[in-house]
Amino acid sequence: MRTHDESGGGFARWLGLYAALAAMALYNLLPFFWMVSSSFKTDIEVTSFPATILPQSFTVDAYARIWGQEGLVRYFLNSLQVSGATALLSATIGVFCAYGFSRFRFRGRDTMMVMFLASQVIPGVLLVGPYFKMMSFAGLYNTHLGLILAQTTLTLPFSVWMLKGYIDSVPLEIDQAAEIDGASRLQCLWHCILPNILPGLVATMVFAFLLAWGDLLWALCLISEPSKQTMTLGITNLVGQFRVLWSDIMAATVIGCAIPAGAYVFLQRYLVKSSAGSAVKG
């Protein structure tokens, strides 16, 4: 039997753990709460001192002004197009690469995998010059296709690593049984592998989508025409030379965060399955 002291020590550890988790959650959620609260304030109230936590005069004028701008709707649609295409392309190429790394044994396989992972530690700002030169030479500067290709090359290495882990968890005997029945490698991948790694595939696409949606560096370097700018780049245009409308910026940021949050809520069951599969596999 446990003594009273042991029970008390366990409760203290439990209390300390949850107190630390609550503090971390508050630290991460406070900026989002402040952003949403400020989006419903007037411009004067946002910049007033001392600052107010909740809006004293609740208003949706900032949302009306932002959504009434034609440019914001265009930025929103551009981000959807670029992020969706990046996620789809990254997952499509990644699943074929991951299948090859998982199911085939060839010279330099492990070295290539390490190089894939090592590429993630290279700061993106160091690649701006080479990418700008390549896209300009190929005639892809100031096009959505050039931005999609640039973002895909950045999300692809991690996508391959994630998908390879999920494919490794599928027993090789499934492939062998399908091949005995006359299935080709492509048919085996489509009918046997993909249904078993669907949660991981969705998680990979969400990862690539969120990275592309929140990107500012590559959109800033590869897109200059206002009609082709993405949401993150469009929000920076709200900062005027002589005046900054903070309530408008906060409202635009809330709208920009709605898509990632909605995607997480809608695809939550796939992400949970993906995490559970990784934990079991590990």
pLDDT of 191 > 80? The answer is yes
Q: 226-248 b/e with 16+ CB inside 10 Å = b?
A: eebbbbbbbbeebeeeeeebbbb
Domain residue ranges in the chain: 4-31, 68-281
Q: Which residue has the tokens 């995607």?
A: 263
- Name beta bridge partners: 244: 239
Cis upstream peptide for 50 (omega within 30°): yes
What CATH number does domain 68-281 carry, 1.10.3720.10, 3.40.630.10, 3.20.10.10, 3.40.50.300? 1.10.3720.10
Q: Are residues 61 and 42 in contact, defined by beta-carbon separation less than 8 angstroms?
A: yes
95 by Cβ neighbours in 10 Å (0-12 / 13-18 / 19+) ranks as buried
User: What digits encode the pLDDT tens for the residues 78-91?
Assistant: 999 999 999 999 99
pLDDT at 282 (0 to 100): 45
| pLDDT classification of 241: cutoffs 50, 70, 90 | low
Segment 41-68 mean pLDDT? 80
Q: What's the pTM?
A: 0.79
3 state SS of 242: coil
Other CB atoms within 10 Å distance of the CB of residue 124: 13
| pLDDT classification of 31: cutoffs 50, 70, 90 | confident
Q: Are residues 173 and 60 in contact, defined by beta-carbon separation less than 8 angstroms?
A: no
CA-CA distance, 246 to 256, in Å (whole number)? 15
3 state SS of 16: helix
Token couple for 174: 């499934």
- Name beta bridge partners: 239: 244
